[in-house]
Amino acid sequence: MKGLKPTVLALGIFAVPTMGLADIRLLDDSAMGEITGQAGVSIELETKIDIDQFLYVDEGAFAVNDISIGGAERTDFFGFAGIGGPTANNRLDNIRIDIDVLADGDAAINIVPTNFAAVDFRITTGAWELLATDGSGDYTRLVDNFYAEGLMARGSVHLDTETDVMRLRTAFAIETMDFDVPFLAMGVRGLQITGADFDSTFSSPLDLFAEVDLYIYHGERLSGGGSSLAIDMPSFRADVGIEEVIIGQQSIGRVFVDDLAITDTAMRVYGH
């Protein structure tokens, strides 16, 4: 943790009677840390986020309307009572963010529940649309009525100053996700994502969460010839189930994907 600047401490010194100055000396950052016992900063957070519209404009535009991110207003998930924290409300809560700058300059950010439970969340949106900007008023509604509730067990960010690579890790589970795809006359009801080892018959919260591990950095394009935002994902494993698939307003049944494994994934993002 950074200490007070010497100039700030000096201003405080001038406010002390002159006879006491002989006993006062400035402390550097490390000495301040030893006295206070602090090795970083912790932030406890409660919040709810609402966005009327997210708009991306290229030649045409892409919009996501009526975005809301908050708590799920319940604490029971996947048959585990109280796993979503001590209180049921519409806020993202039960969150503590620990921030440390290590001796080698690396930044370490750890996101954990304040209580021995997971962080419950609900995400909803209105329409996702492709919009014409030529005055025609044409649009295509890609997704509508998006609704998801789930849990986050933890998250962490590690920025390595030696390699300039940011590692992002999180563990999550989706208990229910619904959405419509109007331009294809499709709908999804009750989509669920858990860890690949989760068994609903012999359920354990230790197996509940799917792990995401990303490495993000400035890298070369896979095709060569320029720089890009590089995102690597060594492995992702999960079980994915869909309670109901709707096509043409009629259900065609259920889907379950057991032990989905996505490995050795490299993605490069750049403008064109």
What are the start-end ranges of the E strands in the chain? 41-47, 49-57, 61-70, 92-101, 107-113, 119-125, 128-131, 139-160, 165-181, 186-194, 210-220, 227-247, 250-269
Domain count, the chain: 2
If one compares 10 and 214, the residue with the highest pLDDT of the two is: 214
What's the whole-number average pLDDT of the chain? Answer: 89
Q: Is the pLDDT of residue 187 over 50?
A: yes
Is pLDDT of 202 > 50?
yes
Distance CA 131, CA 122 (A): 27
Asked if residue 194 lies in contact with residue 242, where contact means CB atoms within 8 angstroms, the answer is no
* Arithmetic mean of pLDDT, 171-189: 98
Q: pLDDT tens, 103-148?
A: 999 999 999 998 888 999 999 999 999 999 999 999 999 999 999 9
Predicted structure pTM score: 0.83
DSSP 75: -
The pLDDT score that the predictor gives to residue 205 is 93
Q: Cα separations (Å) of 118 from 24, 88, 170?
A: 48, 12, 12
- The answer to whether residue 232 is domain-embedded is yes
Residues of the domain holding 94: 42-49+70-125+135-269
Are 18 and 76 part of one and the same domain?
Answer: no
> Same structural domain for residues 9 and 121?
no
Q: Render pLDDT for 59-72 as a digit per residue (tens, 0 to 9).
A: 999 999 999 999 99
Distance, in Å, from the CA atom of 182 to the CA atom of 170, rounded to the nearest integer, reads 31
pLDDT score of 186 more than 80: yes
Residue scoring higher pLDDT (206 or 225): 206
Q: Are residues 19 and 101 in the same domain?
A: no
pLDDT band, residue 26 (cuts 50/70/90): low
Same-domain status, 12 and 74: no
Q: Provide the pLDDT confidence category of residue 254 given band limits of 50, 70 and 90.
A: very high
> Does residue 117 fall inside a structural domain?
yes
Which range is least confidently modeled, 7-16, 159-168, 174-183? 7-16
For the record, the structure tokens of 147 come out as 């609704």
Q: Which residues pair with 100 in a beta bridge?
A: 108
How far apart (Å, rounded) are the C-alpha atoms in residues 145 and 179? 5
Q: Give percent of the chain with pLDDT exceeding 70.
A: 86
Q: Are residues 144 and 193 in the same domain?
A: yes
Same domain, 251 and 116: yes
pLDDT exceeds cutoff 60 at 32: no
Any domain includes 118: yes
Both 231 and 181 in one domain: the answer is: yes
Residue 188 maps to a domain: yes
- If asked whether residues 95 and 2 sit together in one domain, one would say no
pLDDT average, residue stretch 1-15: 45
H or E element in which residue 11 lies: helix 6-14
Residues 88-98 pLDDT 10s: 999 999 999 99
> Is 31 in the same domain as 109?
no
What average pLDDT does the segment 186-205 reach? 95
Q: 19 and 143: one domain?
A: no
User: Does 55 reside within a domain?
Assistant: no
For residue 23, is pLDDT > 80? no
| Cα–Cα distance, 91 to 42 (Å, whole number) | 19
Give whole-number Cα distances, 207 to 79, 157, 177, 247, 259, in Å: 13, 22, 20, 33, 12
pLDDT of residue 224: 83
Where residue 91 falls (left for φ over 0; alpha for ψ -120 to 50; beta otherwise) is: beta
Q: Does residue 65 fall inside a structural domain?
A: no
Same domain, 20 and 121: no
Instruction: Please tell me whether residues 204 and 248 are part of one structural domain.
Output: yes
